[in-house]
Structure 1
Amino acid sequence: MTGFSSVTALETRRGASSLEKMLGLLDLFTATAPAWATDDLIRVSGTSRSTCYRYIKALQAAGLLTPVAGGAWMLGPRIIELDRTMRLCDPVTAGGVPAMRRLAEEVGQTGLLCLLFSGTVMCVADAPAPGAPEGLFSRGQRRPLFTGAASKVILAHLPPHQLRAIFARHRPTIAAAGLGGDWESFRHALRAIREAGHGITQSEFLPGILGVAAPLFNAEGGVLGSIGIAAKLDSVPDSGRAALAERVMAAAKEACAAIADQEQLAALPARAVG
């Protein structure tokens, strides 16, 4: 099975270094295109056959790619090892998962733990509630920075200079997300989220789903991610949203304290913003 669903990501590296191009091959492997034939990798890599062979062999030697039947390649077992290390050592994961799980159990809704990653928001852990609909955010999935409570609450706490750069690059997308068509409207929308201490959205990814999230910070006060819940709209009456938001913010406070206990790791800056 081969596919081209991530070719666009690779094409953005046409002027990149050799190392960036080699690592860019990994972007091609997705749930919809998990295996790639060697010839297809060569075709989309933008390099010569010999160069692409070197990339593939280097990735195989590192355990990041592994050969499968039919001369194809899939992601390698080294990624599983790295994932385990991430689960154990990442300060957001280590500090936030216990609070996220307690939150999910106490409110009876799906818990989500997310972090800022390269201009997107990635789910690093989830605790699905019984009967939760399929398609909710889960570990390893990414979503845009401008849509959904888990994303917007992170966006609202980025430094002003980053927000200005983001607005300049993504103005149409920001307007479409209901965050304002001009800089002042954008600032006002984000200020409202900051002042509330949480974000609430509904039906922004799946119809009938309510999202509530609060930000997570490192020891220096830089935003790292968010913690929150996803619930069926009809399971949370309007009168219950304030109490749910308070519980989410309490979980965020608990998680931030645990992240701060990670000592040196807790001082890591917020992830890159694209």
Structure 2
Amino acid sequence: MTERQPIHPDIPKRDLVEGLMKGVEVINAFNGDARYLSASEVAERAHITRTAARRYLLTMVHIGLAATDGKLFWLTPRVLNLGRSYLDSAHFPRAVVPFLQRLSQQVQESTNFSVLDGSDVVYLARVIAPRLVTAGFEPGTRLPAYTSTAGRVLLAALPDAEVQAYLDSTELVAYTHMTVTDREGFYRELQEIRELGYGVTESQYEVGMRGLSVPVRNRNGMLIGAISVSMSTASASREEAIARCVPALQSTANTLMMWI
């Protein structure tokens, strides 16, 4: 179950397709706070001219990635195919599901596998708890890393210089009244996660939700991602959740290490 490791060469500018890069920026201009945008608004967000933005948007409409009423533009569900292509082609997110299923059965809670992508954590696989009311994030969901247990575990695994660069470039916005927004306090929490080998958060992104997470490494010690348990804070005390879930998470991570 070996994934190809990416390389990051210095690619000459002449070998880059600038139009593709700009097209991706146009798609990324849309988000939960900006579902409907004019060509001028897209131009401002993607740092291109209004004329270029309009051509990109009309091309997206032509191929079904966007729709328009003549003034505003919005993305269509076909955009999901772009992310689905990764999930269908990537081996590890699919291979980890049976391990998440066993973990979910053991702890009776929803489980996730996620990776760090820039300043966000991205959830790539999820197994729903065997109950009517479940908690967790769908595959493809992105969250600010500092608000997520998995994100904190993944950040804690980085060298200090990279952690500091993350803190210098990231605004810690409060999503709830409990979200940690103090940089020094957040850094101390990352140090504690390093010492403990696991992370626990409560009500950081959504009130009443708890996450527990451990890192997943391969046999060479390379960080692959993080596995997590998501639950309601009302389902158990913090101490009970740690006692029930952390050993199971660590055992699953150790088993995965032998397969990666």
TM-score under structure 1 normalisation?
A: 0.69
Q: How far has the Cα of 1:35 moved from its partner? A: 4.7
Distance in 2, matches of 1:252 and 1:60, equals 44
Match of residue 154 from structure 1: 154
Q: Higher relative contact order at CA 8 Å, sep ≥6: structure 1 or structure 2?
A: 1
Match of residue 165 from structure 1: 165
Q: How far has the Cα of 1:211 moved from its partner? A: 1.1
Structure 2 CA distance for partners of 1:228 and 1:49, relative to 1, 3 Å? closer
User: Residue 206 in 1 paired to residue 206 in 2?
Assistant: yes
Alignment of 1:218-229 (within 5 A): 218=218, 220-229=220-229
Task: Show structure 2 runs of 5+ residues with no match.
Answer: 1-17
Structure 2 CA distance for partners of 1:193 and 1:42, relative to 1, 3 Å? closer
Q: How far has the Cα of 1:117 moved from its partner? A: 1.0
Distance in 2, matches of 1:235 and 1:128, equals 16
Q: How far has the Cα of 1:155 moved from its partner? A: 0.8
User: Residue 181 in 1 paired to residue 160 in 2?
Assistant: no
The one-letter code matched in structure 2 to 1:149 is T
Q: How far has the Cα of 1:216 moved from its partner? A: 2.0
Q: How far has the Cα of 1:247 moved from its partner? A: 0.5
Percent identity of equivalent pairs: 22
Question: What is the root-mean-square deviation of aligned Cα atoms in Å?
Answer: 3.5
Match of residue 65 from structure 2: 65
Number of residue equivalences: 237
Distance in 2, matches of 1:95 and 1:54, equals 40
The one-letter code matched in structure 2 to 1:241 is I
Task: Show structure 1 runs of 5+ residues with no match.
Answer: 1-16, 261-274
Distance in 1, matches of 2:233 and 2:152, equals 19
Q: How far has the Cα of 1:67 moved from its partner? A: 3.6
TM-score under structure 2 normalisation?
A: 0.72
List per-residue Cα deviations over 1:166-224 (Å, max 9, x = no partner).
244448779x7277628xx83x5434312322111222222332211111235543323
Structure 2 CA distance for partners of 1:121 and 1:26, relative to 1, 3 Å? same
Q: How far has the Cα of 1:92 moved from its partner? A: 4.1
User: Residue 243 in 1 paired to residue 247 in 2?
Assistant: no
Confirm or deny: 8 A CA contact 1:180 1:189 kept in the other structure.
no
The one-letter code matched in structure 1 to 2:244 is A
Alignment of 1:40-119 (within 5 A): 41=42, 45-59=46-60, 63=63, 65-67=65-67, 70=70, 73-75=73-75, 79-119=79-119
The one-letter code matched in structure 2 to 1:165 is A
Confirm or deny: 8 A CA contact 1:29 1:36 kept in the other structure.
yes
List per-residue Cα deviations over 1:240-266 (Å, max 9, x = no partner).
5223111011222333444x2xxxxxx
Stretches (4+) displaced over 6 A = 171-174
